[in-house]
Amino acid sequence: MFIVRHNYNFFQNKQRFSSLNYLALIKFEAVRVLYPTDTAWFGFYAPNDFRKVLPAEETDLYKEDWIGLKALNEAGKVAFLSVPGGHLAISVEEIQELVVPFLLPDFSSSRIPPYY
């Protein structure tokens, strides 16, 4: 996860990201494309320690709210979901259960599950 903090679009991108109505982050448990797998939820290695993976809430990206993820999460607009398969190996049933509800006009943040 390499995010340039001081580029010319940084403020605009943060505004756009934090203006989302909802954000569903889906982690594929058996993924071999992303490492560590927690990057799907914006987790990342601890500084100078490639053995320890921090959850998103413990990263500078989150704590300093570089992209608006903290604001979205504190507003109850982020769902941290997981499925057992590999990268993008999601069944139709899982899409219907996990993704489709976010697309419905009557969806509300009260229906976002805590960590799935």
Give a yes or no: residue 25 inside a domain: yes
**Strand stretches in 31-110, DSSP E:** 44-46, 49-54, 78-83
pTM of the model: 0.76
List pLDDT tens digits, range 75-108: 989 999 988 888 778 889 988 888 888 888 877 7
Give a yes or no: residue 18 inside a domain: yes
80/4 Cα distance (integer angstroms): 24
pLDDT at 112: 64
Give a yes or no: residue 77 inside a domain: yes
Nearest to 42 by CA among 60, 26, 55: 55
Give a yes or no: residue 7 inside a domain: no
Structural domain count, the chain? 1
Give a yes or no: residue 80 inside a domain: yes
List pLDDT tens digits, range 34-46: 788 888 899 999 9
Give a yes or no: residue 21 inside a domain: yes
List pLDDT tens digits, range 17-36: 888 888 989 998 887 877 88
Burial of 80 (0-12, 13-18, 19+ CB in 10 A): buried
